Structure 1
């Protein structure tokens, strides 16, 4: 066999001392070997590859055909570019990167012989060019598209519209319960599928309309793309209406009691926030949809479940398992449905498994350290409830995300214990981890005692008390302020090439409206999407202007106390921070938001107004969060190869439905649930977030950030500067030591520290860590093919079964409470941990703590 030699310059980063790939000279063979023509041999080779064994037979056949046409020179060029593009990418398998570096050193260094070296190089390059380098994506996404498959039909809008409205109503009703469960996209998929299939069998195929507006009422069997488009629509209903988050705090009498915040006002603000998010999502396509590195782990289970439900499956033996994904899903769902009655109603101590406090219920130190309700939750075994275990989505987001955030949460918990036992800033006199704001007597802060005509009154404030917050609330605020600047600086530094390329593409698309966005991206998904008409950028720009108009109408027609310039300022800050935030979310499943920054800025811009403070936060967070939801759905459509304009129309219609239904659900909730948002509400509608928001609006709105930072908590104002300063050394560490710090993500660690400040503690995160280590690390690395086939199905099935059971229990047994009283349902609430009032130190004999009377201002 003839051989030729080629010198390959690896183009690797000179800073990478581990690999030391400085322009290595590589001897390679360009000869085609006979085994490359044998599909059976190649499939066997794939099965023996640690990083490619999750390729299923259907996809393998496609890759084999592409592999046969690839020259070795092209393959080496692809691998060389991959070492640069994917360097430091935590989702890119480390084994794959090691293998690629070894390949680039040549056949001799690879050590498998020239024939297998030639095959493996082409195989690895073909996976990158024609499929995906990520096992997660390969397990749910096909490298083949059928552009003739129906996607946008009348029945999609009819069926999805009904389930979108249903999901919006249910989720906006039960969000306020703790722990809350919701109708996830996986659950809605299960409802959409039989509806679509029944429709295709029952409804006659009449032709409706005239001319180009003519359509078929029932064009045939329900397709995979129809199912995906309907799911994307329903996702709008699955999400809680963002502005609704803030309605209890502003409207209920136990908080600010603003009766003028009516249904109409809620609709206007929801229009503004949600259509702003949708418009920004379209503009963000170049940053977080088209790039290959934007994996979006949170959407993969939805894709996997739809493929399982709709597409045929070949029978295969996977590590001894021959059960089909569809059958596995149904069995698991049924088991989860039955089981959830145990922790949610029959034996609730399994959900809040604070067993250490059962030993000595009145021991306050035990409750503070190990309690699940009052304390930090340093308990190795905290819950057997899937709604708690799944709180961090441990079978969906990468293991490094769960682990990094848990490490940060653990650090935050230790800091809290140190603070309360040293009585740092009077935190020893308060419960360790609550959102409530207290006065100097240790009682919930009474805002009416410092207000005159809803405005801050300094004399009343001097006569009453400064506000005090728990150690957990201090940790939350400090970490979140640092995270805002740290996350922005760190991601801008680490992902600058992607950001720069996307900015250039956006500018060119505005100059040349005929230019395709996909032309700048060479990955297989973008190549397949070139068959479909894109959504022009100016569509999204018009929508942005519409959302601004709705917001201005609401601000001017209602007494919100928010100047118009504040609205535009928050919008500008949101747009500036949303790019790095979305890049982070697309790769890790975590998104840092500007909600605390919005609260702080509201306190500075409109001093003395708690309502204005809430508005600035609502605007910032609402715009940010909605953009994330819509971008994720657009990425899902990108993976499923659904026409972009169909997705645009579906999202607009679903958003309109969600806004009106969500606003109506709040009216029904407020009028139908007695004692709503009280911490002792019988059905657990305690509104945790509303209490957190209220405390922060007092601290930063009513009292104001100047008094808070300059007098009460002076170190907090340095958090922004500290976050910006430490971003650079953290980036340098990870840049120069990528091998040793591959799974270290400082943004996630800091985000974990910021998890405190409410009733959620380590008890809600420890079970998820165990689940993630088992499924997203051990099984994923040891039994990759099983993981690729069953993992997302397992997560979807348990979540769906739990949700169905939770809804049934709520409607039948909890909405109008039917109490089941026995030891297993009362023990977790007994003693100090259940009372939620313990603190490390007793209030002094004087009856108050903190500064002496008259010394604060």
Structure 2
């Protein structure tokens, strides 16, 4: 599920929010669901053993798992619902076991067990872990430079880069909380599921008493998990159509889920489906699947079979790599100066680089998605947003949550401002010392873009549940102001885009703390602590994985199981080359092959207006549910290939989110969330254990080949095997379709 559809989860697919009264009803529901019995509880010490130990434990696990999946073909998640459930059990156990005697250090005292494990501690653990359990965006640039330029920033520079990109947005979030957190109109819909969960588990005995399948409790049921396909990778890429004609290249390009279209491809790996399928709004999911099908099951086969724009010339239909016009790969290192900037004279003396047509289309769809989000929100929610925004800015009528939060000491605005300035100063340091292509003034431009975009974009997210992705916009801007500098472009993007995105995430967490009455200063420390823990273990995990799997990532070692990939890094690097090294004026010139890309803005802006006009002409039809932003995001979901998961996810969506929700709602309410959480988390844990202790993650001595049989590949090392790759559209007698030969 792409970013836009995930963020869309609580809004447009389930109701028509054109009328203000529905927002008011939701506000009442929120107030009813929040625990009102602890609003005047005395704030506890900032450091407690239960909170600190549990937050650290799950924060480390979450950071490692999320970073691990960054390099895996299957894109799993570390479920926050698992953290909520497991931390509840551990918190209650530690509250019973730990001694209550206070430890005195001079004038200070610290209790390892200050009392029963309560709802506020529980929520704060969840928020702290959620800030830690992310894959820091800065890992993209560190990985790309290490893999493609053989240039690794030292540990200090890497950690400062990660820290600043993750934390600058936090300073912004604090300074904008008056407008984006405190007003009742700023709902932040994705938090409502967690608000209901925390109150249900702490305020009733349902969690402990309610029984599920075969009498299992929720916690026992959560212990179930789905084994990943280590023994039989064939089940991860079950491209059954390839078995019909395994040596037909057209069949491979259309039906293979490894760099092909993956048409009707199946997968029995839960990572390919994901738990969100069970509970995300139906119309948002259908919009996303519509984009997947249009792009990869319709456009890709047509372009491949007709060789439109020379699609077949480049061997693979989906790849972020650059080529020469005859289809041979373009090596950027041959035209770079020692400082990794483009040698324009040397580049102009040779043949120009080109990209695959389908990759160019992804940029078109990305720009269309950005414009469509703004156009959709203005058309369908513009009047409502404007009225709510005026109330927020004017400070009219604090809601009940804001009034109740006044009992706690607030975090001074100066704290956030000082934190932001400190992070900006460290960002200038890391750019001047380690990323020398991005000058200090370029960094300030990126940060200014973050400020300009954060307020309106986060307001859209808070009120409507939908917000556009901005990474392409930042790449475009940097491509024009700093041409020929790929590293500068990547750094500009992570500071311009990530500061806004991280601010958005942290604002959402601040709103959850607002709903649950978490003392602001405890929340301040919890978020910073989680960010530091997550960044550190993101970096350590990245180093471990790249050092152990470098051969697979750079193509010098076979990857017969198809479970590891450097394609996400390749996509990030490919964008850096297109927008940074070569530059948008050249790559997207109106006279060139890709001049159509900029028309994405126009298409994305116009289509929602047409739908809005239809909604006025035919008001009984829910035209707002046809979200062009989500559809076009679905069309860009697989820029690096590996299109498996579309068909099984669609099947699971129709079974659980349509059939079960509509005709067996009691079952769905009882099982859906806990089942999704159990499968997500069990799969993630099992995958990490396999990586650490079977695939050489801890030590090369612990690197064991999977069994060689028909469920994997026929003979060891594939020396005489008719199929080398697990999707059975592999290579035979020197015909290596996957590498484009």
TM-score, normalised to structure 1's length? Answer: 0.73
1:809 counterpart = 2:690: yes
Distance 1:248 1:681, change over 3 A: farther
Q: Which of 287, 290, 293 lines up with 1:410 in the alignment?
A: 293
Q: Are residue 663 (structure 1) and residue 560 (structure 2) matched?
A: no
Question: Structure 1 556/755 Cα, relative in aligned 2: closer, same or farther at 3 Å?
Answer: same
Give the Cα separation in 1 of the matches to 2:616 and 2:174: 31
Q: Is the 8 A contact 1:242 1:622 kept in 2?
A: yes
- CA-CA distance at 1:354 after TM superposition: 0.8
Whole-angstrom CA distance in 1 between matches of 2:246 and 2:398: 61
Deviation at 1:489, TM superposition (A): 3.9
DSSP-derived class of the 1:340 partner? coil
Aligned ranges for residues 349-498 of structure 1 at < 5 Å?
A: 349-379=234-264, 382-390=266-274, 393-413=276-296, 414-430=298-314, 431-453=316-338, 454-497=340-383
Measure how far apart 1:438 and its partner are.
1.9
Change (3 A) 1:240 1:325: farther
Alignment partner, residue 442 of structure 2:
566
**Distance change (3 Å), C-alpha of 1:539 and 1:452:** closer
CA distance in 1, matches of 2:311, 2:335: 22
| Residue in structure 2 matching 1:329, options 218, 221, 238 | 218
- Partners of 2:187 and 2:462 within 8 A in 1: yes
Tell me, yes or no, if the aligned pair for 1:308 and 1:325 is still in contact at 8 Å: no
- Aligned pair partner of 2:520 in 641, 644, 650: 644
C-alpha distance in structure 1 between counterparts of 2:212 and 2:390, whole Å: 49
Flag the 1:733–1:686 CA change in 2: closer, same or farther, 3 A: same
Correspondence 1:794 to 2:675? yes
State whether residues 325 and 790 of structure 1, in contact with CA within 8 Å, keep that contact through their aligned partners in structure 2: no
Distance 1:695 1:266 in 2: 21
2:397 aligns with 520
Matches of 1:483 and 1:126, distance apart in 2: 30
Determine helix, strand or coil for the equivalent of 1:218. Answer: coil
Correspondent of 1:751 among 613, 622, 633? 633
Q: CA deviation at 1:181?
A: 3.3
Report deviation, 1:235: 1.1
User: Residues 281 and 781 of structure 1: is their aligned pair in 2 closer, same or farther, counting only changes over 3 Å?
Assistant: farther
In structure 2, do the counterparts of structure 1 residues 556 and 284 end up closer, same or farther at CA, with 3 Å as the change threshold? Answer: same
Q: Deviations over 1:425-445 (max 9, x none)?
A: 322312112222222342332
Q: CA 1:303 to 1:353, structure 2 compared with 1: closer, same or farther past 3 Å?
A: farther
Q: Give 3-state SS (helix, strand or coil) of 2:139's partner.
A: helix
Gaps of 5+ in 1: 1-87, 102-123, 509-516, 844-857
Shift of the 289–401 alpha-carbon distance from structure 1 to 2, 3 Å rule, reads farther
What's 1:699 paired with? 578
Flag the 1:729–1:174 CA change in 2: closer, same or farther, 3 A. closer
Query: 1:739 is matched with which residue?
Result: 620
The alpha-carbon deviation at position 362 of structure 1 amounts to 1.0
> For residues 304 and 424 of structure 1, what CA distance do their matches in structure 2 show?
51
> TM-score under structure 2 normalisation?
0.84
Give 1:401 deviation, angstroms.
1.3
The 1-side partners of 2:99 and 2:600 are apart by 64
CA distance in 1, matches of 2:123, 2:368: 39
Q: Structure 2 vs 1, CA of residues 676 and 553 (structure 1 numbering), >3 Å: closer, same or farther?
A: farther
Distance in 1, matches of 2:18 and 2:35, equals 22
- Shift of residue 167, structure 1, vs aligned partner: 2.9
1:233·1:654 contact (CA, 8 Å) conserved in 2? Answer: yes
Give the number of the structure with larger relative contact order, counting CA–CA contacts within 8 Å between residues 6 or more apart: 2
Deviations 1:89-115 (A, max 9, x none): 625546x999x99xxxxxxxxxxxxxx
Q: Contact (CA 8 Å) 2:40, 2:407: kept in 1 or not?
A: no
Q: Higher Cα Rg: structure 1 or 2?
A: 1
Distance of aligned partners of 1:497 and 1:621 in 2 relative to their CA distance in 1, 3 Å threshold:
same
How many angstroms apart in 2 are the aligned matches of 1:808 and 1:142?
38
**Is 1:265 equivalent to 2:157 in the alignment?**
yes
Once residues 181 and 601 of structure 2 are traced to their aligned partners in structure 1, the CA distance between those partners, rounded to angstroms, is 30
CA contact (8 A) 1:592 1:751 kept: no
Report deviation, 1:809: 2.5
Counterpart mapping for 1:505-544 below 5 A: 520-522=397-399, 529=405, 531-544=407-420
Who is 2:5 aligned against? none
Q: For residue 82 of structure 1, what is the aligned residue in structure 2?
A: none
Structure 1 278/457 Cα, relative in aligned 2: closer, same or farther at 3 Å? same
Q: How many Å apart are 1:222 and its aligned residue?
A: 1.5
Instruction: Tell me how far 1:296 sits from its aligned partner.
Output: 5.0
* Secondary structure, aligned partner of 2:511: helix
In the alignment, which of 346, 349, 355 is matched to residue 231 of structure 2? 346
Taking structure 1 as reference, are residues 653 and 322 closer, same or farther at Cα in structure 2, changes over 3 Å only? closer
- Matched with 2:716 is none
Which of 628, 646, 653 in structure 1 is aligned with 2:504?
Answer: 628
Q: How many residue pairs get matched? A: 702
CA distance in 1, matches of 2:207, 2:540: 47
Shift of 1:651: 0.5
CA gap 1:834/1:383 in 2 versus in 1, 3 angstroms: farther
In 1, are the aligned partners of 2:560 and 2:726 still within 8 Å (CA)?
no
Give the Cα separation in 1 of the matches to 2:207 and 2:201: 15
Deviations 1:531-572, CA, capped at 9 Å, x for gaps:
545445444333322222221111222342112222222223
1:653 matched to 2:529? The reply is: yes
The whole-number CA distance in structure 2 between the counterparts of 1:547 and 1:226 is: 28
- Please say if residues 317 and 356 of structure 2, whose CA atoms lie closer than 8 Å, have aligned partners that are also in contact: yes
Q: Does 1:777 align with 2:658?
A: yes
* Structure 2, unaligned runs of 5 or more: 1-9, 697-702, 714-722
- Work out whether 1:203 is the aligned partner of 2:98: yes
